[in-house]
Amino acid sequence: MNKTPLLAGLIVAGTFALPALAHGRTVTVTTQLKAYGGDGAYLALYLVDAKGAYARTLWVAGGKAKYYKHLADWNRLSAADGRRLAGVSGASVGAGRTLKVTADLADALIDAGYEIRLDAAVENLRDSPAEIRLPLTAANAGRAQAGRQYIQSLSYEFQ
Amino acid sequence: MDWKRLHRWLGLIPGSILLVLGLTGALLAIDPVQQAWQAPAAADSLTVADMLEGVSRTISGVEEIRRLPSGVLVAYSFDGEQPRADRIDPASGDILGSYQPSVLPRWVKNLHRSLLLGDAGRWGAAIVAACMLLISASGLVLLLRHLGGWKQLPAQVRGSSLQRVHVLAGRMALAMLLLISVTALCMSAVTLGMVAIDSDAEPGVTSLPIGQPGMAGSQIPFLRDLAVADLRKLSFPDASDAEDTWKVVSRGGEAWIDRYSGRLLAWHDATPAQQFYDWVRMLHSGEGAWWPWALLLGLTAGSIPLFWLSGLLMWRQARRDLPRIGNNSPLAQADMLIFVASEGGSTWAFARALHEALARNGHRVHSAGLEHFQSGPQARQIFILAATYGNGQPPAHASRAIARIEEQRAGALPVTVLGFGDRQFPAFCAFAAAIEQALLRQGWSGLLPLERIHGQSAQQFMLWGEALARALGEPLTLDYRPRLPEMTTLRLTARQEYPGCDDRPSVILRFRWPRAGIRDRLLGRGLARFAAGDLVGIVPPGGAVPRHYSLASGSEDGFLEICVRRLPGGLCSTHLFGLAPGDTVQAFIRPNPGFALPDDSRPVILVGAGTGVAPLAGFIRRNDRRAPMHLYLGARDPARDFYFGPEIAHWRSEGRVASVQATFSRLPGGAHVQDALRHDAERVRDLVSRGALVRVCGSHAMARGVAAVLDGILASLRLSVQQLKIKGRYAEDVF
């Protein structure tokens, strides 16, 4: 898993099978990694609905599909989504680095019980599925949450 | 195929990156060795359920248990917010200590597998691994060539000390190096995604909540049947996800288990490719292997710098020895053609001397590599100067030379072949002889018969030049200037004179050499270490060519001793004979590795005549092991040339020499050393059948006579001098 420079301002086109974006908002998710003393981390940032069912992948950091099984929850939940990587994948993120991801979300997803989740895995270190779970609400915007192992803080902002 | 060039350039260029992979690989072997010591011994019958029962008492909130290839078991848990990784004893569940993935910094492994360059670096490392495979394979071809085939693989290695280091280490490490490079390539193929070894398919199964707490791991039937030794990884169901399952990765495959019922929900067999890959990985990394294997891997990887450095030095030496030939006439205009086959380049120095001598006489001379052999329109004489590489092989660049000769029709002009080689090899000058045979078969004639030059002897070359001058009918001055090693000043401390016979007095000279400082010793300056049987090269004042004398002492003796017979008109021997204590000479050591005695207790038959007894006396002097040495010594007259006489008697009383048979040819009823051997045939046979080594030192004629007598004696054992030479048990030092 390679280190990559800071990934800032990545625009992710919102052209997937989602409710029409007639009333949409752009969300920017900022993920700051801890200096956990390992190689670059594989991360999966995704949305689940109120029942815990997979909704959509926002970003997958890490290029080798054979390691996705270490992002166990995302890999299991999104298995049926044939386009889960379409335009939303990049290189793994080095320890101490920051990943910024932007995505267009329909208003209907906000304050509707949806949750942003992040799975993380680092080679030779333990996997951390559900490293972070953060409800997608207007009130939570700008509030940083720490992960269990690898994430210093994750926060999102609406534009 | 030019294996030698392939070996050299791959070794020098990608080899410098391989050096990095070798050093890091050697470091990485520390981990599996260290982990093997840490791994707790688990009984074969211990099941995962047993282990979970123990662990449930010692660690709460375990999320995952991994069994590392080394057998170390690591339990991952959270201590409040703090993630923990503990080494556990599977039988009791006790915590043995916290787990550190490696004692090495992470960059060591990343440097090893990707040169710190990410995926591009992985490709780079894979290419270097492919180069390593080619270097090892070509090394094997060259090793077999050098030694003379598979059957000779255990034979004694000859050559310069650099060559010997390279070849000896190669013989030991080649199999491992081949294995390491092949396994590295397999691992690269998997890492780079060229080969997929496991399916990523998730079964998509979930636990079915039935309104009661989950089943304890120790109760689950699957885990009660699974031995800890077969476990790879056990993931506990997530406390916050009611549908999550147990997931087990074992040697046999992967399992998903319902957290409430304990029922097996899905099972994926491990693919044969996965199992093969696990093997490859174990062989390459040593993880999970018996720890001496990891140690062996580390040592092999650590030997790569040795190969690289000795190879680099050999290449530099060969380059330095390559002379440049000026005024080389084009083939079309030349009347004298010189074709050269040289492995290390030293034969070119002789070719240059011949080239310049002929050019001084007004000839237009064309010199080229033997691979270009052909006649020219103006040519009147052709000379071939051919070195033999290893045991009878042509130098690499001239490997097709004989085929080329056989493709061409013979010309009317004579071709003269001069062979260069080392008498230590049974197939002495065999390549030059094969060329001469091929030329004769094709119908070429020769001006002079094949002459074989031993050990780059300048004297022999001069004598050949004299014969050539007579045959050409013109004076010829061969000005051969070998590249001389760095000289050391020796100071004479003692001389012991012998009147000798036929007005050829002799003297045993003892020298002292200046002590080298630490700096000089580290840089390899100063007089090289030497042992009896090695040679000292001495350049007389006003001379360019060194004379070599066999050493009668070793560095350990603290003095350098030679036995010199004054030859009429001999520049060097006359100079040495005239030295008074306190006088100095310039000298260097030339190793004579095939002749030196190995350090063991096998019986030894020493045969020497005249000043040839000197190295044998040196062997006896340092026979601290009291190996049974039997000396056959030939001289003319005990009163005139019985060198080392009193010393030999003293060593006999000390038991350093088991028996001494001295023969004196000028006494009434005089005999030669061959006669003494023939007389002792029974004992010689007995000694040889018990593995005795034989060392012969003296004149050519004497060495030939001794070999003939010994062939006769050994015939009934179905042995010959030739066979003993091949086994490295028989060596000659002749002059």
Nearest to B83 among A38, A129, A149 (CB): A149
Q: Note whether residue A70 is domain-resident.
A: yes
Which residues 24-63 of A are in CB contact (within 8 Å) with B?
37-39, 52, 63
Q: What is the mean pLDDT of chain B?
A: 88
**CA-CA distance, B515 to B489, in Å (whole number)?**
11
Cβ distance A148 to B193 less than 8 Å, yes or no, reads no
Residue A123's Cβ-side half-sphere holds a number of Cα atoms within 13 Å equal to 16
Which range has the worst mean pLDDT, A98-102, B315-319, B532-536?
A: B315-319
Per-residue three-class SS string for B77-105? EEECCEEEEEEECCCCCCEEEECCCCCCC
Say whether pLDDT at A2 is over 50. no
- Complex ipTM: 0.75
Say whether pLDDT at B401 is over 90. no
Q: Which residues of B touch A41 (CB under 8 A)?
A: none
Q: Note whether residue A38 is domain-resident.
A: yes
> How many DSSP H helices and E strands does chain B contain?
22, 24
* pLDDT greater at residue B610 or residue B345: B610
Q: Which residue of A has its CA nearest to B235?
A: A127
**pLDDT tens per residue across span B627-651:** 999 999 999 998 888 999 999 999 9
Select from B325, B345, B456, B437 the least CA-distant residue to B395: B345
- Determine what percent of chain B is predicted with pLDDT higher than 70: 95
**CA-CA distance, A99 to A32, in Å (whole number)?**
6
Nearest to B200 among A37, A66, A148 (CB): A66
Residue A145 is classified by DSSP as B
* pLDDT greater at residue B604 or residue B392: B604
CA–CA distances in Å: residue B546 to residues A81, B480, B512: 84, 11, 19
Return the pLDDT at A18. Answer: 47
- Buried b / exposed e over B250-286, threshold 16 CB at 10 Å, is beebbbbbbbbebbbbeebebeeeeeebbebbbbbbb
Q: For B397, list phi and psi in degrees, rounded to 5.
A: -70, -20
Cβ distance A124 to B247 less than 8 Å, yes or no, reads no
How would you list the strands of the sheet with B73-79, edge to edge?
B95-98, B82-88, B73-79, B62-67, B231-235, B246-250, B253-257, B264-269
Tell me, what CATH number does A139's domain have?
A: 2.60.40
Cβ distance A65 to B238 less than 8 Å, yes or no, reads no
Q: Which residue of A has its CA nearest to B190?
A: A66
Which residue type is seen at B80? G
Report the predicted TM-score, pTM, of the whole model to 2 decimal places: 0.67
Torsion-angle region of residue B547: left (phi > 0), alpha (psi -120 to 50) or beta?
beta
Hey, is B382 helix, strand or coil?
A: strand
Say whether pLDDT at A10 is over 50. no
Nearest to B119 among A2, A65, A149 (CB): A2
Give the tokens for residue B592.
Answer: 């004579």
Say whether pLDDT at B25 is over 80. yes
Q: Which residues span the domain enclosing A75? A: 7-14+24-158
Position B15 confidence tier, pLDDT thresholds 50, 70, 90: very high
**CA-CA distance, B597 to B551, in Å (whole number)?**
13
Sequential DSSP letters for B164-212: HHHHHHHHHHHHHHHHHHHHHHHHHHHHTTSS--S------------SS
Name B47's bridge partners: B227
Q: Note whether residue A111 is domain-resident.
A: yes
Give the tokens for residue A83.
Answer: 């386009």
Q: Which residue of B has its CA nearest to A147?
A: B81
Position B22 confidence tier, pLDDT thresholds 50, 70, 90: very high
For each of the domains in chain B, give its residue range(s) and CATH number, in order of start: 3-29+106-197+290-316 (no CATH), 47-90+212-266 (no CATH), 336-472 (3.40.50.360), 488-590 (2.40.30.10), 604-734 (3.40.50.80)
* pLDDT greater at residue B102 or residue B254: B254
Say whether pLDDT at B159 is over 70. no
Return the pLDDT at A116. Answer: 95
Return the pLDDT at A76. Answer: 85
Return the pLDDT at B627. Answer: 92
Say whether pLDDT at B390 is over 70. no
Let me know the angle formed at the C-alpha of B237 by B236 and B238, rounded to the nearest 5 degrees.
Answer: 115
Q: Note whether residue A46 is domain-resident.
A: yes
Domain count, chain A: 1
Q: Which residues of B touch A3 (CB under 8 A)?
A: 118
Average pLDDT over residues B368-394: 87
Q: Note whether residue A134 is domain-resident.
A: yes
Q: Note whether residue A30 is domain-resident.
A: yes
Position B157 confidence tier, pLDDT thresholds 50, 70, 90: low
* B14-28 vs B118-147: helix crossing angle, rounded to 10: 100
Say whether pLDDT at B399 is over 50. yes
Q: Note whether residue A19 is domain-resident.
A: no
**pLDDT tens per residue across span B68-98:** 888 899 999 988 777 889 999 999 999 999 9
Q: Which residues of B touch A69 (CB under 8 A)?
A: 200, 202
Closest Cα in chain A, distance from residue B524 (Å)? 44
C-beta separation of A76 from A103 below 8 A: no
For chain B, list residues whose CB is within 8 angstroms of any CB belonging to chain A.
63-64, 76, 78, 81, 83, 85, 101-102, 106, 110, 114, 118-119, 193, 196, 198, 200, 202, 204, 235, 238, 240-241, 243, 247
Return the pLDDT at B525. Answer: 60
Mutate to test the interface with B, among A1, A2, A122, A148 (most CBs of B within 10 A): A2
Q: For B133, list phi and psi in degrees, rounded to 5.
A: -65, -45
Q: Note whether residue A33 is domain-resident.
A: yes
**CA-CA distance, B107 to B2, in Å (whole number)?**
38
H-helix or E-strand containing A104?
strand A98-106
